Amino acid sequence: MKYIVEVRGERHEVEVGPDGVVFNGEHITASLTDIPGSPVRQVTIGDAVHRVIARRGAHRGEYTVLLNGHRFTVEALDARARAIRDLTAATSGVAGPAPLVAPMPGMIVRVSVAPGDVVVAGQGLIVMEAMKMENELRAAGPGTVTAVRVIAGTAVQKGAILVELS
């Protein structure tokens, strides 16, 4: 099966066969072996051995790959699934930017925006305290604040919606 693997905004084609892969037109022997009782998988590419952890993401084909001291967020889909996901991503785009959610349970220390504010990517929206440290939560992309769901002093759970954007 041929996969389109997206990592760091770049797409690569990898054809997986019974004894290896074709990557950039080159046939390479490759295999993936589970290590019982461990999240580690042994990946061999040619004669090179890699100790890999591949955490599955929320959707099919999404993986967080830990390899040689680096962490990669990867999406590996076959051509058909890739096309479908590109279409859904394009249509869901009109729904606007994702709301800001609490990445961890904690306490809201400061709210830096109000409904109607136009924010730019990377702008600090909320300061929340967790583990005795203050953490600034920033806008992932540009948008307009449509609602602020918390005030300073609110205790929130992981995943709680804090600020809605359009």
Partner 1 sequence: MRTTSLTDRLVISKLLVANRGEIALRVIRACRELGIASVAVYSDADARALHVREADEAVNIGPAPAAQSYLVGERILDAARRTGADAVHPGYGFLSEREWFARAVREAGLIWVGPPAEAIAAMGSKTAARTLAVAAGVPVVPGTTSALRDAVEAREVAETFGYPVLLKAAAGGGGKGMRVVHSADELHDALASAQREALNAFGDDAVYVEKYIDGPRHVEIQVLGDTHGTMLHLGERECSVQRRHQKMIEEAPSIAVTPELRARMGATAVAAARAAGYVNAGTCEFLLDRNGNYYFLEMNTRIQVEHPVTELVTGIDLVQWQIRIAGGERLPFVQELIVPRGWAIECRITSEDFQNGFLPSTGRITSLHIPSGPGVRWDGGIEVGSDVGLFYDPMLAKLIVYAGTRDAAIDRMHRALLELQIEGVETSREFHLRMMEDAEFRSGDITIQWLEAKLPALSAILPSANDLRAAVIAAALMAERDRNAVRAARPDVSTPDGATAWHRAARVEGLRTA
Contacts with partner 1, residue ranges (CB under 8 A): 1, 3, 5, 7-8, 12, 14, 16, 21, 23, 28, 30-32, 34, 38-41, 43, 45, 48, 50, 52-57, 59-61, 63, 65-72, 74-78, 103-106, 130-133, 135-136, 158
Instruction: Please say which residue, 36 or 93, places its beta carbon nearer to partner 1.
Output: 36
**Residue 122, Cα to own-chain centre: how many angstroms?**
17
CB atoms within 10 A of CB 111: 18
Using the minimum distance from each CB to partner 1, give the nearer residue, 104 or 114. 104
Q: Which of 94, 95, 117, 104 is nearest to 163 (CA)?
A: 117
- To partner 1, the closest distance from the beta carbon of 94 in angstroms equals 26
What lies within 8 Å, CB to CB, of 161 at 6+ separation is 99, 100, 101, 149
In the block, tokens 């929206």 appear at 125
Structure token digits, residue 96: 């606007």
Closer of 53 and 161 to partner 1 (Cβ) = 53
Shortest reach from residue 31's CB to partner 1, in Å: 7
**Shortest gap between Cβ of 18 and partner 1 (angstroms)?**
10
Which is closer to partner 1, CB of 72 or CB of 120? 72
The span from the CA of 140 to the CA of 120, in Å, is 8
| 133 or 151: CB nearest partner 1 | 133
Q: How far is the CB of 86 from partner 1 (least distance, A)?
A: 16
Closest approach, Cβ 134 to partner 1, in A, equals 9
| Residue 53, Cβ density class (10 Å: 0-12 exposed, 13-18 middle, ≥19 buried) | middle
